[in-house]
Amino acid sequence: MNGVSSWLARICAPVLKPTQASARGFALAAVISNAIVICTGAAVRLSSSGLGCPDWPACTKSSAVAAQSSGQTLLNSWIEFANRLLNFPLVAIAGLTFIVFLMYKPGGKRRKDLVWLSAILPFGVVMQAVIGGIVVLTKLNPALVSVHFLLSAAIILPSAVVLHVRVDEGAGRARGLVRTDLRVLTGLLVAVTAVMLAAGTVVTGTGPLAGTTIDSNGHVHTVPRYHFNLEAVTQAHADIGWFIGAIAVAVVVGLWFSPGVPRISKIYGLFVMCALGVQGIIGYVQYFNHLPAGLVWVHVSWAVVLWIFVLRLYLSTRERMPADEGAAGVSGAETSPARSASAR
């Protein structure tokens, strides 16, 4: 019996008695799991499987699991049902991550900032499931589909990324590690990338990949779409991409030719700039090839990866001091970037 108790204690220790390493690991798991769910959700949309399970929370009115339904193929049903199943491990990871940071007490004191960040994860996942159900019941209303995507991309995933970074930082106030103008530029890069993600949902909701249904007579019907001109919204999306590229080039030049910039910031900046170039190439190739669903999915998935690294780039340009240094206030904030970088 003692052996069983000891075994259970070892299994539960990373959650109930978390170390900095285990807390970091759970935060990383939250980042990865949320990124995967966003990408699989895009696959559901782009394969016209959004109504593969036309009911909610069950798949159909007569089946809790994937089953043949009117107007949908069995493959569509399984694609949608598989995406719903991913919510179970996602909820488990989000819940465990919250418990970990509730129990995490570095120096014997709970980090309230980390607890609040981690609380966003399970709450956001539950909200996401509810919105997903409303999306299905409203037959893929494009505005709700956009909200469904952006809740994960703009709130849940960034919270997990920030949580993963903050584990290794103090609870005090933040101070810059690079020049103020470069911090502003990286912050602008985050904001405009978020706008680009939102614009991408409008393009998809306007275009031919928003989804279709097949009636009992075999006739194909399109699901509700945004009533915009596809060429116009695509051009707007591309223009935002060019603007982001210009900001990224300016950020990289500034980071590489400024003294005292942390090396990791330079690496993130270079990766973001190159990733934007790849994203632009994929975007133009998919457009001129009439939007093949597989390539559009690559475009969306790469955008998720790019978004994570844009956030990491911004977070790498500052650091948070230990809580007991927070009282230093202005003196801590005035520490030069060169001195802060060398201290790292």
At 166-204, the pLDDT tens digits run 999 988 888 999 999 999 999 999 999 999 999 999 999
Same domain, 90 and 53: yes
Q: Do 228 and 314 fall within a single domain?
A: yes
CA–centroid distance for 252 within its chain:
23
Question: Do 326 and 203 reside in the same domain of the chain?
Answer: yes
Say if 8 falls within a structural domain: no
CA 26 – CA 160 distance, rounded (Å): 10
Residue 254: CB atoms within 10 A of its CB come to 17
Token duo for residue 149: 């995507």
Do both 116 and 262 map to the same domain? no
Say if residue 94 is in the same domain as residue 177: no
Token pair 């844009």 is found at 310
Average pLDDT over residues 54-83: 80
| Single-letter amino acid, residue 24 | R
pLDDT at residue 311 greater than cutoff 60: yes
5 lies in some domain: no
Range of the domain at 243: 171-344
- The pLDDT of residue 335 is 42
> pTM of this prediction?
0.88
41, 135: one domain: yes
Q: Check residue 319 and report its DSSP letter.
A: E
In a domain, 11, yes or no: no
**Residue 38 and residue 175 in one domain:** no
Looking at the predicted structure, is the pLDDT value of residue 164 above 80? yes
Is 151 within a domain? yes
Closest CA to 251 of 340, 152, 317, 296: 317
Residues 6+ apart with CB under 8 A from 293: 46, 47, 209
Out of 168, 184, 209, a domain closes at 168
Given the structure tokens 């995507």, which residue do they identify? 149
Specify the pLDDT at position 63: 82
Residue 24 lies in a domain: yes
> Is residue 155 situated within a structural domain?
yes
Structural domain count of the chain: 2
Contacts of 319 (CB under 8 A, 6+ apart): 169, 174, 175, 177, 340, 344
Based on the fold, state whether residues 160 and 191 are members of the same structural domain: no
Where in 137-181 does DSSP place strands (E)?
Answer: 174-176
Domain boundary at 117, 144, 168, which?
168
- Domain boundary pick from 151, 168, 185: 168
The answer to whether residues 153 and 182 belong to one domain is no
Whether 194 and 102 share a structural domain:
no
Residues 37 and 88 in one domain: yes
One domain, residues 152 and 175:
no
User: Is the pLDDT assigned to residue 331 strictly greater than 50?
Assistant: no
Q: Is residue 247 part of a domain?
A: yes
**Cis amide linkage into residue 57, ω under 30° from 0:** yes
Q: Is residue 9 part of a domain?
A: no
Residue 4 has pLDDT above 70, yes or no: no
Distance between CA atoms of residues 182 and 185, nearest Å: 5
> Can you say how many angstroms the Cα of residue 125 is from the centroid of all Cα atoms in its chain?
12
